[in-house]
Amino acid sequence: MFRSTAVKNLITKRTKISLPELKYDFNALEPFISGKINELHYTKHHQTYVNGFNTATEQFSELKQKLDTDPVTISRKLNQLQQNIKFHSGGYINHCYFWDNLSPVEAHGGQLPSKDSKLGKKINEQYGSAENLIKLINKSLAGVQGSGWSFLCYNTVNDALEIRQTYNQDTITDAGVKVLIAIDAWEHAYYLQYQNRKVEYFDAIWNVINWKEAGKRFEA
């Protein structure tokens, strides 16, 4: 089963998480995603989710030890922290998938899966072609009102690919559902370069999508 090293941090005994190591330079995805966007996205936005998760989980642990002193008040605070943990952990996980989903053009970024590969066969079986699938994912992305994500997932329960959409930093948590591709539809992912032309960003990002990584996740 696929899990990136960064995502594993959330389910091991580690008490703190950290940014995943990028496999490419910030400017390696140009001209499709500018180096400045990647730098800000990674060092500011993703780092914020890391910091928020670490702070909230630490506070949660400290408050639990005080539960006997004031059960009602402490329980209310714990409930509030749980919402904070959900938001920041979702942002952390989604971005870990996102960075691994991208690759420079010279390092097979944008190369569609072979029709003979396991993922390629599954895509053709369900959608007719990778191009048809991309159009549907872009439709899902364009349908995000405000901030959110679109995912290509593999549902192991019914052996089917699925396009899923979430809002804010909600992530995919269903048992048996594996994220193959995650695309960020928040403004911070594109606005510095594309302004209000987010549809151009949705089209452009496929030039640097790492389909080999998606194939590995599918076959794992």
Q: Is residue 47 part of a domain?
A: no
* Cα–Cα dist 140/151, whole Å: 9
Residue 41 annotated as part of some ligand binding site: yes
Q: Is residue 2 part of a domain?
A: no
Q: Comparing C-alpha atoms, which of 101, 100, 118, 97 is closest to residue 172?
A: 97
| pLDDT confidence band for 72 (50 / 70 / 90) | confident
* Cα–Cα dist 95/72, whole Å: 35
Q: What is the pLDDT of residues 129-145, one digit of tens each?
A: 999 999 999 999 999 99
> What is the reported pLDDT for 197?
95
High-pLDDT (> 70) share of the chain, %: 93
Q: No. of H helices and E strands in the chain? A: 9, 3
Residue 45 annotated as part of some ligand binding site: no
Q: Mean pLDDT over all residues of the chain? A: 91
> What is the reported pLDDT for 78?
80
Q: Is residue 92 part of a domain?
A: no
Q: Is residue 187 part of a domain?
A: yes
Q: What is the pLDDT of residues 109-119, one digit of tens each?
A: 999 999 999 99
Total count of domains within the chain: 1
- Assign 134 to helix, strand or coil: helix
* Cα–Cα dist 64/56, whole Å: 12
> pLDDT at residue 199 above 70?
yes
> What is the reported pLDDT for 66?
72
Q: Is residue 82 part of a domain?
A: no
Q: Is residue 140 part of a domain?
A: yes
Q: Which residues form the domain of 125? A: 105-219
pTM: 0.87
What CATH number corresponds to the domain at position 119?
A: 3.55.40.20
* Cα–Cα dist 71/202, whole Å: 48
* Cα–Cα dist 154/181, whole Å: 10
Specify whether the CB–CB gap between 85 and 64 falls below 8 A: no
Sorted by sequence, the CB contacts under 8 Å of residue 141 that are 6+ apart come out as 150, 183, 185, 198, 202
Q: Is residue 189 part of a domain?
A: yes
Q: What is the pLDDT of residues 146-170, one digit of tens each?
A: 899 999 999 999 999 999 999 999 9
> pLDDT at residue 29 above 80?
yes
Q: Is residue 7 part of a domain?
A: no
